[in-house]
Structure 1
Amino acid sequence: MKLISLFCLFAVHTLFGQKIIWQEDRKLIWDNFKSPVNTKNNPDVAAYTHCGWEYSVVKSSNPRSPVKIEIAAIFNEERSWKDTKKMSDYILLHEQKHFDIAELFARKFRKEVAEKIKTSGDYDKNFKAVYNKISNEYKKYQISYDKITEHGMNKEKQAEYNAIIAEEIDNLKSYKAS
């Protein structure tokens, strides 16, 4: 068997920085945001969470052999930053939800993989389409989350999203990383 390690577009830079793998009982703290640079060049933005997922694949050249795909939601400390003048527990919770959304989509990704990719042949045929579908949905969800919550400033919408994200993660608990 040959080992192929591939990384999601959102996680490629984790090779050069410290990463945190999502865990239910571990929440982000402000010290995790280590980049000194506001990469958005927007003075109104209080923080930026660089997160996504990474995956590894073990497959064979035999199309009938089983394939093993592991997917992890990750947070990149070196590419995440905060404005030290705007830090608050409330903003940190908004940023945590970005990381939780990464976990939500890692679970959706694991579910699609479990349903559609059992063999090396399935991987060769279906993986790119599954990846692109989940990746596009993930990007749209993150953008929508920020837009609807007004980057966390709309407290009512933020509270709604907090509940929705938690419920969606719980609904996919059977696809939690092992």
Structure 2
Amino acid sequence: MKWIFLAFFLISNVLFSQKIYWNENVKLNWSNFKSKINNHGGTNVVAYTNCGWIYSYVKSSNPKAPIKIEINTVFNEDKSWKDVKRINDYVLLHEQKHFDVAEVYARKLRKEVAENIKTSSDFDRHFKTIYNKILKEYKDFQRQYDSETKNGILEDKQSEYNRIIAEGLENYKSYKSS
């Protein structure tokens, strides 16, 4: 007997949100930020990007059976916010990079899963640990990114992070979602 599970995690319940799946050929635009409520920052915050991962898997009750796991990066339009009086293209680029960072870490998660989880038994033993490790790295990087760029205000730091994020996407390109 096979089960399909869909787990929602990282910033909020994405089940009822409008989602954009990360795609290297599709960039965010201000119309994607649909929330009217800024409940994630103070008066300095110009925009908030709500993004993360969703995953699903198909596994068997046979512990030796192969498992199929799919991991996607999503942007949640209904939970992403902007201050319409202060937005500009530069701020949008900073917010796009938050979404790109989510994809970098989704690729890292896909890599770890591909290397360590082949069967239903492997999933039961290892997935949660792998997921929690990558999630912690992801959250730490997002915090560091905002802190060091001062939410994108420091242009030289923003440029440095643009390069780091682009390198991350390139380094893990073989783990793009298919």
* TM-score range normalised by the length of the shorter chain: over 0.9
Q: Give the TM-score of the pair, scaled to structure 2.
A: 0.97
- What does residue 144 of structure 2 align with? 144
Which blocks of at least 5 consecutive residues in structure 1 are unaligned? none
Q: Distance in 1 between matches of 2:5 and 2:77?
A: 25
Work out the CA distance in 1 between the residues paired with 2:39 and 2:9.
20
Please give the alpha-carbon distance, in whole angstroms, between the structure 1 residues aligned to 2:39 and 2:86. Answer: 16
Instruction: Tell me the amino acid that sits aligned with residue 74 of structure 2.
Output: I
Q: CA deviation at 1:5?
A: 1.6
- Deviation of 1:51 after TM superposition, in Å, equals 0.3
By how many angstroms is 1:98 displaced? 0.2
Measured on the aligned residues, the alpha-carbon RMSD in Å equals: 0.8
Q: Give the aligned partner of residue 74 of structure 2.
A: 74
The equivalent of 1:172 in structure 2 is 172
Aligned to 1:13, the other structure's residue is in SS state coil
1:125-174 Cα offsets, whole Å, 9 max, x none, are: 00010010011111000000000111000000000000110011111000
Q: Distance in 2 between matches of 1:143 and 1:152?
A: 12
Distance (whole Å) between structure 1 residues aligned to residue 20 and residue 3 of structure 2: 27
Unaligned runs of 5+ in 2: none
Does 1:8 pair with 2:13? no
Q: Quote the Cα distance in structure 2 between the aligned partners of 1:124 and 1:40.
A: 34
Moved over 4 A (4+): none
Query: Normalising by structure 1, what TM-score?
Result: 0.97
User: Matched residue pairs, number?
Assistant: 177
Q: Which residue matches 1:116?
A: 116
Code of the aligned partner of 2:4: L
Q: Residue 36 of structure 2 aligns with which residue? A: 36
The Cα shift of 1:2 comes to 1.8
Q: Contact (CA 8 Å) 2:98, 2:142: kept in 1 or not?
A: yes
2:8·2:15 contact (CA, 8 Å) conserved in 1? Answer: no
